[in-house]
A and B are shown apart, each in its own frame.
Chain A
Amino acid sequence: MNIATVGFSYMRARPLATLLNVLLLALGVGTIVLLLLTTHQLEERMQRDARGIDLAVGAKGSPMQIILSAIYHIDVPTGNISWKEAQEISRHRMVKKAIPLALGDSYRGYRIVGTTPDYVAHYGAKIAAGRMWQAPMEAVLGAEVAARTGFGVGAEFHGVHGLGDSGGHAHEDHPYRVVGVLERSGSVLDRLVLTSYQSVWVVHAEHHDIKDVTNIEQQLGDDEKEFTALLLQYSSPLAVAILPRYINNNTGMQAASPAYETARLFSLIGVGVDVLRAFALVLILSAGLSVFIALYNALNERRYDLAVMRTLGASPRRLLLLLLFEGLLLAAAGAALGLVLGHAMAEVLGHVLKAAQQIEITGFAWVMEELWVVALALATGILAALLPAWRAYRTDIAGTLARG
């Protein structure tokens, strides 16, 4: 028997009001937790995909579009760049590493990326089955693609022009043959079909009637060879100031900084997140108000109880603590339920997005900021109980008992 027992007994005596208060708070806390989890994981994921890439270079157009198409593979490219210009930039003294990308086709919505083995090495992905590609028209599948298509080593398929399930015509003449499958790396590679850039040249050299795909480089003129984008790593910090301007002013290409463009992207998404966050705060605020009203109303019903407790020897301070405890109890229950709710919603959302081949989100991860949300909820509970607790503290025993 102590203050907690008494507090609990009053909560149980008013189950509906208690449930309403706990639910309101849980919804607010859950919404904020869901936002924290999704934005955190989204940012982490996007930062991981862009890590180590200082500059993406594509055809003249929107830098944002270049980043979205060349790094995250969720948009169409701005166009193609000339092989010769790409070679020149790759050999620039401020470029440490240059990874070429040749895009254009997809299979069942998964993008086919013509590149070099450097691209796979950049993300630290390992072969789970089979081997890396060596000759043109050999393909290595990302883990997600392999799981979805059911393809293993030896499978053959035709690329489709464009990005998307039904878009464009199939390239019937030159089928791809799967020679390897990658381990899941948690990066963008999971959702890609990888091959050599020569494969993409073969498929798109339609008026050449290629018979021997192995020496495709000799069969095309230098002006006919094209990439879609280059991913660059600088050799010196100075390059930040020099290289993008050099590319934009002296070549037919466009430079895009992943760091800058993703920051811009997040500030755009941020508006929506802020609106949702404000909505969640309103929920928490109304929960606080509801707790306040419930305790304040209950105080009227309980004024004799409080007076009787004083006659039994309770000090005013103990009544104050009793009311504060009840506020805290409601808040703690709401916060706990809210945490569970937020993580459950994140997990459900993760499953929905997974089905749509989007970014992976899990509910089984923690973010430090969640502690702040819990602290906010508990503070709300105490704050809501403050005035009722003060009134309990000031209970006039003799006056109350004389009236009843």
Chain B
Amino acid sequence: MFELQGVSHAYDEAEVLHVDAWQAAQGEHWLLLGPSGSGKTTLLHALAGILRPAAGTVTVAGQDLGALGAQLLDRFRGQHIGIVLQRLHLIPSLDVAHNLMLAQYLAGLPQDRQRVDEVLAGLDLADKGSAKPHELSFGQAQRVAIARAVVNRPQLLLADEPTSNLDDARCLQALELLQAQATACNATLLIATHDQRIKSRVAQHYDLGARA
């Protein structure tokens, strides 16, 4: 589903990321492990096409990201990749439903209110469509962020430290939600984390720290 070959990246000549080879199949769930500074976020950004690595090739859903021009890469990301950011970053001036519709609009997909309601209902947010982000609890906001990431039925779902600020119970809940949503659209799920609590819950691991 995605494949990395000889990927490396450096800031100011200090190498922050190095992956010789790694591939994952469609629908698999992976954990990306490693201590802070091991390049988890950089790798996630490279997979999302947010950052072009200094060397190597990144292939997602059969598409070599390096071969795409800037505008096509933006479009590809919007349509095929869903991202749940650590700080969620919902658009504060838009209500929940419009945050999801924004994802459809910016990806260049038709705006489908029915799909939006369906995803919100699936995450127990059916009555929050017209709420503004600041009116939500953290748990609700995180579910909205997950909803926004999956509303376009991505093939690859990326999550950056989704559980780091949560207590044990909520930590498991968040993980289960991500897994359920990824399974629902048969997306490959990759969670970047240093949270030891969820290690045993996901079968496949890629440890940046171990290989560095």
Contacts and interface: CB of A to CB of B under 8 A. Distances in A.
A13 B74 contact: no
A6 B111 CA distance: 15
A312 B78 CA distance: 5
B106 A318 contact: yes
Given A5-B98, A313-B106, A304 B89 contact: yes
Given A10-B93, A308-B85, A313-B107, A1 B102 contact: yes
Contact of B48 (A5, A311, A314): A311
B124 to A, nearest CB: 23
B48 to A, nearest CB: 7
Could you say which interface size class chain B belongs to? 20 to 34
B154 to A, nearest CB: 11
Contacts of B105: 1-2
Interface stretch (A80-88, A330-338, A396-404): A396-404
Contact of A9 (B41, B93, B106, B107): B93
Contacts of B83: 311
B89 to A, nearest CB: 4
A315 interface: yes
Interface string B51-86: 100000000000000000011001101110001010
Contact of A398 (B50, B106, B107, B148): B50
A315 B83 CA distance: 17
B104 A308 contact: no
Interface string A287-329: 0000000000000000011011111111111100000000000
Interface residues of A, number: 27
A12 interface: yes
B50 A401 contact: yes
Per DSSP, are chain A's interface residues mostly helix, strand or loop, or mixed? Answer: helix
Interface in B31-54: 41-42, 45, 48, 50-51
Interface string A364-401: 00000000000000000000000000000000011001
Interface in A6-38: 6, 9-10, 12-13
Interface of B: 41-42, 45, 48, 50-51, 70-71, 74-75, 77-79, 83, 85, 87, 89, 91-94, 98, 101-108, 111, 148
Ranked 9 nearest A-B pairs via Cβ: A313-B78, A13-B93, A398-B51, A313-B107, A9-B93, A312-B106, A1-B101, A314-B106, A313-B106
Given A1-B105, A309-B102, A311-B50, 14 more contacts: A1-B98, A1-B101, A5-B98, A12-B93, A304-B89, A305-B89, A307-B89, A309-B106, A311-B77, A312-B106, A313-B103, A313-B108, A315-B74, A401-B85
